[in-house]
Structure 1
Amino acid sequence: MFDQSPFECRVEWGKRGAREAAERCDITIVVDVLSFSSTVVSAVNKGAIIYPYPPNLDGHLYAKNLGADYILGRKEAAIIGRPTLSPVSFNEQHANQKYVLSSLNGAFCSWIATKVPALLIGSLLNYSAVARIAKRLKHETKANITVIPCGELWNEIRENEDGLRPSIEDYLGAGAILSELSGTKSPEAEVCIGAYEHSKDRISELVWECGSGRELREKGYEADVIHCSQMNKYQTVPILRNGSFVDASNLGYATKKG
């Protein structure tokens, strides 16, 4: 049976990886650089309250019950001036407002992993800060850590084909976080770190030109790709509490080096 159980720090892909991490009760870090993770980090940095929700359930009803806004797709929300899955759509005006955010990858993985000892959101924007919080939680809980690069989904999946499309931006984001974690690393984690270490001086270029980056750019969201490629822009670390992501610093977890 496949697992990385001898090691304290692991890396697993997508929804199945999130389920495996939840069943092991690992501290879990969800990484979906383009764009769920980057959007949650950016929104929480501006003070917004984000509820992750899978897209196959009724997010509108869930949002109504919470007294929250259900975040629409980029095009629909932009027309009426509301925040979207685009991380640059959030600003200080959205502080203390509740939003339900669905996505096929990051939100779904987060929803699957809601019962873990701690669920954190990581990205290139906050990789050092999220690693520091994860290390502290590991010390407090004695739990291991699994980093989940979410990947993308193939369009027009045919019979007997897998839906998951691994994505380099999530792999590099996961590698950046893993590179700053302490504890034994699985071979899978070591290779992920190696990919990041080899590429770290070209991250923005690689994300700009990768398949996911080109897809967003061709749809007119160049600003999203540029924003999501920034390294350690924020000290904000979203952590799930009572169904929503809040900044770990609000719970007494220092996110800055000190």
Structure 2
Amino acid sequence: MTAFDPWPPVALHADWGLDAACLAVERRDAVVVVDALSFSTTVVMAAARGADVLPLPRAILDEAGDHTVIERRFGAKLLANDPVDRLLADDLIELSDLRPGDRVVVPSQNGGTLCAAVSQAPAVAVGSFRNRAAVAEWCAMTIAAATARRVTLIAAGSVWSQMTPLTALRPCIEDGLAAGAIASAARALGLDLSVEAAALATLFDSAAERYDLETWLHQSVTGRWLASRGDSQAEIRDAVLVDHDDVVPALAPDRFFRPHVIRRNFQCPT
């Protein structure tokens, strides 16, 4: 008797969180990590400046205790990605200082953990609102090259422990919308979507048509939490610049994400 396979035979699927990411690797899917506020946005902005990015689970930085240990270990400068990072040291590199060829480390509780978990997938990229059209074309090219038969968008979600002692995953609107933005662009290219991916694409299309995304994200649970720390305004404004960048951070063998500029209007084979 053949084991039941619930995963749809489509080009693009969407799912949530670490467990889904691990299952995608088991299926040999290519994976796009989507953690909109603010890991994915930071990685895409760094890649757009020509930098190579090494995502790390924040626990590794916490265990090291000193950012210089991380920098020596990985041969890369720690990028200031969070007010907590800036409290650790005042000599961290800023996005505005990056130059082509720079190598930086971006710690992240959610996005960094996901990237580590999917490093053995056939292909891995980081997606956001900012590069959603480029990522959609990366997905189409990945399928056309037979690198993988399916791409799974992983919306990171948020961990409740950022706000309470709980540790369960909280699916969050910003990651669902950003994954939906990519799925919407992929659908426009002719890729077939799973129901889950199509639902997120429809959510994004409706939200983009009817509402102001920046206002929505400010009013979301994550946006309100960021505001409580005093750092939401610029972060969300940078995040919702849809299609601002043509670059896709794609995983290289050394586990750094290297910037790949994607030509627009890739023709998806029928």
TM bucket by the smaller chain? 0.7 to 0.9
> CA-to-partner distance for each residue in 1:66-87, whole Å, 9 max, x for gaps?
221234542442761524xxxx
SS in 1 for 2:247: coil
State the match for 2:149 in structure 1: 143
Provide the C-alpha distance between the structure 1 equivalents of 2:228 and 2:99, rounded to a whole number of angstroms.
28
| Structure 1 position 206 matched with structure 2 position 216 | yes
Task: Give the 3-state SS of the residue equivalent to 1:5 in structure 2.
Answer: coil
Between stretches 189-198 and 25-34, larger displacement belongs to 189-198
Gaps of 5+ in 2: none
Deviation sequence 1:103-142 (CA, Å, 0-9, x none): 1111111110011111011000110011011111111024
Tell me what 2:259 maps to.
Answer: 247
- Match 1:178 to one of 180, 183, 198: 183
Contact 1:172-1:192 at 8 Å conserved across structures: yes
AA of the residue aligned to 1:247: P
> In the alignment, what sits opposite 1:193?
201
- The one-letter amino acid paired with 1:29 is V
Kindly indicate whether residue 238 of structure 2 is the aligned counterpart of residue 238 of structure 1: no
- Kept in 1, the 8 Å contact 2:41–2:239? The answer is yes
- TM-score, with length taken from structure 2: 0.83
Residue 42 (structure 1) aligns with? 45
Determine the C-alpha separation between the residues in 2 that align with 1:144 and 1:136: 11
1:86 maps to which residue?
none
Contact 1:204 1:230 (C-alpha < 8 Å) held by counterparts? no
Letter matched to residue 13 of structure 1: W
* Partner Cα separation in structure 2 for residue 3 and residue 104 of structure 1: 29
Q: Does 1:18 align with 2:29?
A: no
Cα deviation code 1:170-189 (max 9, x no counterpart): 00010111112243322211
Kept in 2, the 8 Å contact 1:127–1:177? The answer is: yes
Q: Does 1:115 align with 2:120?
A: yes
Deviations 1:22-43 (A, max 9, x none): 1111111111110000000001
What secondary structure is seen at the aligned counterpart in 1 of 2:258? strand
1:125 to 111, 122, 130: 130
Question: Unaligned stretches of 5+ in structure 1?
Answer: 84-88
Asked if the contact 2:158/2:172 (under 8 Å) is kept, the reply is yes
Runs of 4+ in 1 over 4 A off after TM superposition: 58-62
SS of the residue corresponding to residue 145 of structure 2 reads helix
2:226 to 212, 216, 223: 216
Residue identity opposite 1:236 in structure 2: V
Q: Any residues of structure 2 matched to 1:97-112 within 5 Å, and which?
A: 97-112=102-117
Alpha-carbon separation, structure 1, partners of 2:107 and 2:156: 14
CA contact (8 A) 1:237 1:255 kept: no
Partner of 2:230: helix, strand, or coil? coil
What residue in structure 1 maps to residue 74 of structure 2? 66
- Give the % identical residues: 27
Contact 2:79 2:95 in 1 (8 A): no
Aligned to 1:226: 237
Distance 1:65 1:206, change over 3 A: same
The SS at the match of 1:215 is helix
Once the two structures are TM-superposed, the CA of residue 233 in structure 1 deviates from its matched residue by: 1.0
TM-score, reference length from structure 1: 0.87
Deviations 1:230-250 (A, max 9, x none): 11111111101121011113x
After superposition, give the CA deviation of every residue in 1:1-31 in whole Å (9 maximum; x if it has no partner): 7842333311111111111111111111111
